[in-house]
């Protein structure tokens, strides 16, 4: 349901404004309203104006923002380590930290710069190691004056290797060798061995073809080729040691200073949060005014805390919510534990406006019911029940836990309707469990009764939605809209009974009075809904017929389960039949999860919600830590 909200005005002396904002932030139950025009009488609006920051407070805010930005930059360069809580008074150390943070920031940024350079060098050394590993077999038994040249290249695409080999064959007269090795990023490192006389021409051709030559890292350029491998190993070990040293210094710095800076940053965040809300307040020559909203259940707590903290200097006044305020009132949902998980689906749509109806309880009842009616199989329901319990056990909070709870309720409904339909993995499990002796209806053969049941549910659901629409319209004092929806209900009920009389389910004598009643209601329909009102009525009738999908999708699931069992019996092999049955039942189970869920949601979102829900509510966002 939508929580009842209270329109509140808080008044106090100007010197107390930051203390009051601090109290509101601690309580976390009050949302400040920036547009306070509806809170003040017209004759008083000229006497108050927006609360402006003086030069001192403005300079203080700029100082806090700059200091917080520097601390944030410092924390970017520090690792996440567990630190003790700092008990220093942040206000007492602000000035000294403002100077210290610049020096500490420079030191930490230099550490980060060196670490990034060393890590980049290690990557380059690793790539060049692949090249050296590839060249090592070719160097065995060769002196430094063999007249051979070694060129390393990087190939992003394996297809370019053939093109490279054609170029080499043309330039060297097939007097070359090439070997490749896969790098960690998936590219190919190719080693080309050729005579020194052809090396310059090959390098020029590679440059023309945009094939990058693999150059050694800067630290290896001056090292003689036979010594590169040993030097690379030494340099990689030295770089790793230096990185470990930098990480140790960063961690030690974070342990020494992290708690202090973290405490100061939290204090700055709280202070800036208060200062940023000051322009939303109002002030006169004598006092300040804070206008906003709180939940009705929190009003007494707010009043008691204000009285306790300020001893009557600050007054909390409850204001009347006027009709023109309804679209401005923020909305928060507060549902019982059983309904609360279904707010996961409600969050997919905009919030309803204040003084309307929260659709979550109706979704919490209707969705599992429709899901169970469509799936209606004991076996599938039991599998989903196990999956739901696993989700709930694995996730202690959050959307996935809510999804598990929704699936738990829905699977229980599927099991109940599976007993009523006599289905457990189709008719196969029903024979084993004896459900074929206790079922109430067999969906495969009772197509017309199931269709009648689905449309009847659609009629009840649609009429309920329209009646809720009447309640919503009366709450918001829109009489013609309430009349329009009420007339729709009357005509739809008359039409339903008229159809029943024509098929002789109810006495035929009622047909003529019902038809006359519908004709008499048409002028009221057009008066309340306009010239397009009959089209809206026809849309509502179409919505009712749309509930036939409950029967149709459920029937498709039954037939697919029957096909799975039939194919399994036609194989002539127990193992093959079992595997085929498992495959078909797995497919049906996946379809049985998504298809009922999608269509049950669609029946609520489109057919049901459109009758009463008014989206566009403002989310309740109280000032809090």
Report DSSP letters for 85-129, one per residue: PP-S-HHHHHHHHHHHHHHHHHHHHHHHHHHHHHHHHHHHHHHHH
pLDDT at 572 over 70: no
H-state helical runs in 359-446 = 360-375, 378-394, 399-421, 427-433
β-pairing, 287-295 with 315-319? unpaired
Measure CA of the first residue to CA of the last residue in the chain; give whole Å.
Answer: 26
How high is the pLDDT of residue 413?
Answer: 93
Q: Out of 3.30.460.80, 3.50.30.40, 3.40.640.10, 3.30.70.2170, which CATH number does the structure's domain 2-51+281-328 have?
A: 3.30.70.2170
pLDDT at 419 over 80: yes
Least confident of 166-175, 304-313, 433-442, 569-578: 569-578
Packing angle of the helix pair 17-27, 296-310 (nearest 10 deg): 140
Average pLDDT of the residues in 79-97: 77
CA distance 149 to 30: 77
Sequence-distant (6+) residues with CB within 8 A of 583 are 564
pLDDT at 40 over 80: no
pLDDT at 90 over 80: no
Least confident of 128-137, 150-159, 297-306, 332-341: 128-137
Least confident of 52-66, 177-191, 540-554: 177-191
CA distance 128 to 130: 5
H-state helical runs in 422-548 = 427-433, 447-475, 479-502, 511-529, 533-546
Q: Considering only CA atoms, which of 285, 310, 274, 273 is closest in space to residue 10?
A: 310
pLDDT at 344 over 80: yes
How high is the pLDDT of residue 142?
Answer: 46
Packing angle of the helix pair 479-502, 447-475 (nearest 10 deg): 160
Contact (Cβ atoms closer than 8 angstroms) between residue 193 and residue 138: yes
Contact (Cβ atoms closer than 8 angstroms) between residue 318 and residue 434: no
65/40: higher pLDDT: 65
Average pLDDT of the residues in 277-303: 85
* % the chain with pLDDT above 70: 87
Least confident of 21-25, 419-423, 456-460: 419-423
How high is the pLDDT of residue 385?
Answer: 93
CA distance 277 to 554: 55
pLDDT at 459 over 90: yes
pLDDT at 282 over 60: yes
Q: What tokens were used for 331?
A: 């909305």
307/162: higher pLDDT: 307
pLDDT at 312 over 90: no
pLDDT at 370 over 90: yes
Average pLDDT of the residues in 552-566: 76
Least confident of 48-52, 62-66, 149-153: 48-52
546/433: higher pLDDT: 546
Confidence of residue 515 (pLDDT cuts 50, 70, 90): confident
Domain-by-domain residue ranges, the chain?
A: 2-51+281-328, 120-229, 340-483+537-611
Confidence of residue 64 (pLDDT cuts 50, 70, 90): confident
How high is the pLDDT of residue 613?
Answer: 87
pLDDT at 346 over 50: yes
242/36: higher pLDDT: 242
Fold of 120-229: Alpha-Beta Plaits (3.30.70)
Count of C-beta atoms within a 10 Å radius of residue 278: 20
* Helix-strand-coil split of the chain, %, nearest 5: 65, 10, 25
CA distance 485 to 64: 56
Count of C-beta atoms within a 10 Å radius of residue 51: 18
Average pLDDT of the residues in 337-362: 88
How high is the pLDDT of residue 288?
Answer: 84
pLDDT at 535 over 70: yes
270 Cα distance to chain centroid? 27
CA distance 296 to 360: 21
How high is the pLDDT of residue 300?
Answer: 92
Say whether 120-229 and 2-51+281-328 share the same fold: yes
How high is the pLDDT of residue 143?
Answer: 44
562/202: higher pLDDT: 202
CA distance 199 to 207: 12
pLDDT at 544 over 50: yes
pLDDT at 76 over 90: no
231/607: higher pLDDT: 607
pLDDT at 389 over 90: yes
DSSP annotation of 190 reads: E
User: Considering the chain, what is the average pLDDT of its residues?
Assistant: 83
């Amino acid at each position: 349901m939508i929580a009842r909200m209270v329109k509140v005005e808080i008044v106090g002396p100007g010197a107390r404004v930051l203390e009051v904002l601090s109290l509101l932030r601690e309580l976390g139950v009050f949302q400040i309203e920036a547009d306070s025009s509806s809170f003040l009488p017209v004759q008083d609006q000229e006497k108050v104006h927006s609360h402006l920051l003086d030069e001192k407070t403005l300079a203080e805010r700029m100082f806090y923002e700059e200091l917080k930005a520097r601390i944030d930059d410092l924390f970017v360069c520090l690792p996440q380590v567990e630190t003790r809580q700092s008990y220093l008074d942040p206000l007492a150390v602000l000035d000294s930290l403002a100077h210290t943070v610049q020096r500490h920031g420079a030191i930490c940024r230099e550490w980060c710069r060196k670490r990034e350079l060393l890590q980049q060098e290690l990557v380059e050394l690793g790539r060049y190691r692949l090249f050296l590993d590839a060249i090592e077999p070719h160097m065995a038994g060769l002196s430094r004056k063999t007249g051979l040249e070694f060129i390393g290249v990087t190939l992003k695409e394996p297809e370019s290797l053939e093109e490279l080999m054609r170029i080499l064959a043309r330039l060297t007269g097939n007097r070359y060798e090439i070997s490749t090795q896969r790098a960690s990023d998936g590219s190919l490192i190719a080693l080309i061995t050729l005579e020194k006389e052809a090396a310059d021409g090959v390098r020029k051709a590679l440059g023309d073809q945009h094939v990058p030559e693999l150059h050694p890292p800067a630290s290896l350029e001056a090292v003689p080729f036979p010594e590169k491998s040993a030097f690379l190993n030494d340099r990689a070990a030295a770089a790793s040691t230096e990185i470990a040293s930098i990480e140790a210094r960063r961690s030690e710095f974070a342990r020494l200073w992290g708690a202090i800076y973290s405490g100061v940053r939290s204090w700055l965040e709280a202070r800036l949060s208060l200062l940023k809300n000051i322009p939303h307040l109002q002030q006169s020559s004598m006092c300040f005014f804070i206008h906003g909203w709180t939940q009705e259940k929190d009003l007494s707590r707010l009043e008691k805390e204000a009285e306790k903290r300020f001893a009557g200097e600050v007054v909390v006044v409850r204001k009347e919510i006027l009709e023109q305020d309804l679209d401005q009132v923020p909305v928060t949902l507060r549902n019982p534990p059983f309904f609360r998980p279904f707010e996961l689906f409600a969050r997919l749509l905009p919030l309803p406006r204040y003084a309307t109806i929260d659709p979550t309880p109706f979704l919490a009842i209707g969705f599992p019911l429709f899901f169970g009616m469509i799936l209606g199989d004991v076996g599938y329901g039991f599998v989903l029940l196990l999956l739901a319990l696993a989700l709930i056990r694995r996730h202690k909070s959050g959307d996935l836990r809510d999804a598990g709870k929704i699936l738990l309720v829905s699977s229980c409904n599927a099991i109940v309707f599976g007993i009523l339909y006599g289905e457990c993995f189709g008719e196969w499990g029903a024979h084993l469990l004896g459900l074929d002796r206790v079922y109430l209806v067999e969906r495969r053969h009772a197509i017309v009764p199931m269709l009648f049941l689905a449309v009847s549910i659609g009629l009840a659901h649609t009429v309920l939605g329209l009646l809720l629409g009447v309640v919503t319209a009366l709450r918001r004092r829109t009489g013609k809209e309430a009349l329009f929806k009420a007339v729709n209900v009357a005509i739809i009920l008359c039409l339903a009974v008229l159809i029943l009389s024509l098929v002789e389910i109810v006495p035929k004598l009622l047909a003529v009075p019902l038809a006359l009643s519908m004709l008499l209601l048409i002028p009221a329909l057009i008066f309340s809904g306009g010239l397009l009102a009959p089209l809206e009525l026809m849309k509502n009738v179409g919505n009712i017929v749309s509930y036939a999908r409950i029967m149709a999708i459920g029937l498709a699931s039954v037939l697919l389960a029957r096909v799975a069992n039939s194919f399994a019996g036609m194989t002539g092999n127990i193992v093959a039949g079992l595997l085929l049955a498992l495959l078909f039942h797995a497919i049906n189970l996946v379809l049985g999860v998504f298809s009922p869920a999608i269509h049950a949601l669609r029946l609520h979102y489109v057919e049901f919600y459109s009758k009463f829900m008014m989206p566009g509510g403002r989310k309740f966002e109280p000032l809090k830590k």
